[in-house]
Structure 1
Amino acid sequence: MIFLIFSLLLILVTTNAQRPQNVALNGRATGSTNTGILSAASNAIDGNTDPIWIHGSCFSSQFEFSPWWRVDLLQTYKISSITITNRGDCCADLTQGAEILIGDSLTNDGNNNPRCTKISSIALGGSQTFHCDDMTGRYVNIIRNRVLGFLSFCEVEVYGVLANNCC
């Protein structure tokens, strides 16, 4: 009987370990520019999807060429999907055309890593999920490549499992 209970617990723990979790919550975020507490890169991985910038849970770059944001997941993950929550107070177009990159390289601040997708648009205050087909990487970047302007959004959720965990 004890063996049966132990076996069931082991199956539950193993199953939960393989279920994708929001691994960005334990990461370290940075951006191409530091614009203060209300726009800090870490605001985008605080677990708070509040879409109002003044509430202090959004990221915004300065006006610059090719603005970017990155989260270091601290380990390499197989990433199944990424959900981005856009600002709801204004500026829905500040994610338009941005690329989501995933990889293990910090060359060019991680902006040379392979592309998961390009964001066409995210509704004002909306969230959109992008599927990355289990791409592997330690770094997730969002960049408005070759654009002069801002990059701004309120939350990035990265769902994955450790890459060295096998089926």
Structure 2
Amino acid sequence: MYLEKDRRYKKHYKSKKQQGFLLPVALFIIVVIGGLALMVSKKVSESTATYIISGVSTQAFYAAESGAQAGLHELFFLDVDRQLVDGRCVAMAISQTLSAEGLNNCTVVVSCTCHYENANSCDESNSANYLGLSGISNSFYTLNAQASCGAAPAISQHRIEVGATL
């Protein structure tokens, strides 16, 4: 009788001793998986931020390029009389907020500088510069287009410089 009781006691004791063994393993697995989930979440958010900034930077580049093209159009479209083009370059001050698809939330500012081949600044009011007697036969134009796109905290700026001669 005592022998039987002792066996039952040992069986019962052994099974009780092993209870809870999986609890530390389960906690370890939960902590490791939680850490991995946190790392993946951080990487995804960093990747998303990089993607947004890259997109805004591309927008700013194309906005600056569009501004430079608009400046060239304003400079040369109406005529190719060098004296008139010099005057338009000196007076150029384009400032636009773009609303076209893909360029919305972008602003562009375009300016122009003009120099003769002798490095003097253009003076469209002096007709002698355009008669060929002064030795000046070319004007060199530098258009600067600076664009800014996006909204805080993802703002990007690009500057494009275009040269032309007449």
Normalization by structure 1: what TM-score?
0.28
Normalization by structure 2: what TM-score?
0.28
- Structure having the higher strand fraction is 1
Larger relative contact order (Cα-Cα within 8 Å, sequence gap ≥ 6):
1
| Larger-Rg structure | 2
- Structure having the higher helix fraction is 2
